[in-house]
Amino acid sequence: MRASSIWRPWFVWIIGGAALGVLMRVLFGAIPERFSGPMSIAFLVGTPVAAGALTIYGTRHITTSWAFVIFGPWATVALMMLGCALALLEGSICIALLTPLFLVCASIGGIAMEGMLRLSKVRQSHLKVVALLPIAIFAAEGSMPHRTEERELRSTILVEAPPSIVWKEILRATAIHPSELPFSLVHFIGVPRPVEGINIQSIDGEVRYSTWERGVKFRAVVTERAEQESITWRYVFDEESFPEGAMDKHVEIGGRYFDISDTTFNLSPTPEGQTELQIVAHYRVTTRINFYAIPAATLLGKDFIDTLLGFYKYRSERSEHVGMSTTMASDHAHNRELLSMGDL
């Protein structure tokens, strides 16, 4: 069989599988939020499984390798994601988060279809019904509750500065430039970068005001504070915290599916005059796919707090260096003054 005749049917079914995925995204996106829609198992698992299965179904008259069966459906997923992006159905954050899950599910669909093609004793054309798999799963999962799990993240870094310097930088981080932030996965996939974070005393107590790129603004109430040792604040998000388009709505912090409740900064001095800076954060995940959502949230959450630690390390060490330089310059000036007095 000529290469062109082999390529043609497979390519058609790739387009068909990708089109099915985009269509399902449109349909599930139109479903009321209380039914989860794009965050349902039907869409997140059923759709890529069906798309992968259809890809392999299209090669039923062709001898293919298992490597093709496993990885061939990835082309369908890639085209599906491209279609969702071009149609503005998904933002970069959701696409980055869902792609690994979709690739695995598409491979599972491809393997399952290959098995059915080899074992099926009925007309193989009946197997096209797999296209309805997302709808069938959605009908079955309607009564399935969302599971809520609370998790904790901890990360520590050693700062070449005393606690007094680090403390000052934590309480007032202004004019944060992107170059001051180490490379991070969360910002690479489109999460807005922090621009400012300052603590202000008010009649209601101490409040932390945070500003991110794209107009993101939120506050947090300080619940515990030990001067130069530890500080904890609890976040308060409202409808204006994340302007339209600032983040994909399905992954917005403080939303239905994800939330960060509080953050604690712990400062511990070392005998060498350094500071061990630790961040402890508590977050919530509420989905029907916690088996995937929790590892993804943990990975990105850890990446984000490591980015914050890198920033505060940079700011504190720069401040300490500037302070030392200023002190040394002052000492030199004082010494010169003493020498001048000695000459007199």
The DSSP letter of residue 253 is: B
Q: Determine what percent of the chain is predicted with pLDDT higher than 90.
A: 65
pLDDT category at 317 given cuts 50, 70, 90 is: very high
Q: Is the pLDDT of residue 337 over 80?
A: no
pLDDT in tens, 298-315: 999 999 999 999 999 999
Q: Determine what percent of the chain is predicted with pLDDT higher than 70.
A: 89
3-class state of residue 241 by DSSP: coil
**Nearest to residue 50, comparing CAs of 25, 17, 83?**
17
pLDDT in tens, 46-58: 999 999 999 998 8
Contact 52, 80 (CB under 8 A): no
pLDDT category at 252 given cuts 50, 70, 90 is: confident
Distance, CA of 74 to CA of 126 (rounded, Å): 24
Contact 10, 73 (CB under 8 A): no
pLDDT given at position 328: 41
pLDDT given at position 127: 81
Q: Which residue has the higher pLDDT, 69 or 143?
A: 69
Distance, CA of 188 to CA of 206 (rounded, Å): 32
Backbone angles phi, psi at 61, to 5 degrees: -95, 10
pLDDT category at 63 given cuts 50, 70, 90 is: confident
Distance, CA of 276 to CA of 164 (rounded, Å): 12
Q: Which amino acid is at 72?
A: G
pLDDT category at 142 given cuts 50, 70, 90 is: confident
pLDDT given at position 213: 95
Q: CA gyration radius for the chain?
A: 27
Delineate the domains of the chain, giving CATH numbers in brackets: 3-141 (no CATH), 147-330 (3.30.530.20)
pLDDT in tens, 146-170: 899 999 999 999 999 999 999 999 9
The residues pairing with 30 across neighbouring beta strands, listed in sequence order, are none
pLDDT given at position 145: 83
Tokens of 152: 């904790």
Contact 284, 290 (CB under 8 A): no
Distance, CA of 147 to CA of 143 (rounded, Å): 12
Q: Is the pLDDT of residue 286 over 70?
A: yes
Contact 291, 104 (CB under 8 A): no
